[in-house]
Amino acid sequence: MTNLKRFINKVIIVTGAASGMGRASVIRFVAEGGKVIAVDLNEEGLKETVNLAGGDAGNVYYLVGSVSDEGDVKRIFDKVIAVEGKLDVLAHFAGILRSSFFTEMSLEDFMLPINVNLVGTFLVCREALPHLVKTKGNIVNTSSTASMYGGAYMTAYAASKGGVSAFTKSLAWEYMQQGVRINAVAPGTIATGMTVENPVVGLGDRADYSLFEHSQRPDLAVGKPEDVAGVVAMLASDDGSFMTGEIVKMDGGVHN
């Protein structure tokens, strides 16, 4: 994959690591020499991620928990610090996508992406930052092009990701003088289970699919999780040392 070794002696937590962009980033960080802790609710997926990343070498292991559960988040970070003694990078991918006709959306439907995508980002960043201040480490969060350009039937998701972008920019300013960099990637359509297998959950024939044409390339090409992992690795490495508060759009040129 790469001959780069930018993460030797670095301890990295990757959330949402059981599949997709999180899994690809675990594999990338390990390939570059990092010690990686993979976090997700899906234990079977985590086992597969660790296996794919070469877990037999002892450079990657997993912890099961929910980023939207305050107790889980504290337990995970306490465990990592107890075992590894430090934290250098948080790469936060854990999130969900739900679609709904707006007037049919319950408060519970609206709050689910907010709680997982936005509150989850708050919780993991809050636990990570005291340790990252000590190591002059960094955070890479995950936003979405839906936060910039909108998405039909995705008001709750877009709102949650818009919050992640604003949160990331504000937190970057707050910790700039303490030597901690905080950025986010904002992918468009990436070939993950969340977007390809179930892009418009439960809407069926009632949805107007022409509303998605503005977010598609003419050749219908979509990004790969590995495309995102490469940019995340750059942001998290010294190659991104003069980048903070950035929301890096990755949509294959759709919104240029």
Q: If phi over 0 gives left and psi between -120 and 50 gives alpha, with beta otherwise, what is residue 180?
A: beta
Q: What is the CA radius of gyration of the chain?
A: 18
d(CA 126, CA 224): 30
The set of catalytic residues is: 157
User: Which contacts (CB < 8 Å, 24+ apart) does range 208-217 have?
Assistant: 208/152, 211/152, 211/153, 212/151, 212/152, 214/149, 214/254, 215/145, 215/149, 215/151, 215/188, 215/189, 215/251, 215/254, 215/255, 216/189, 216/254, 217/252, 217/253, 217/254
Distances (CA, A) of 144 to 125, 175, 195, 243: 18, 23, 12, 18
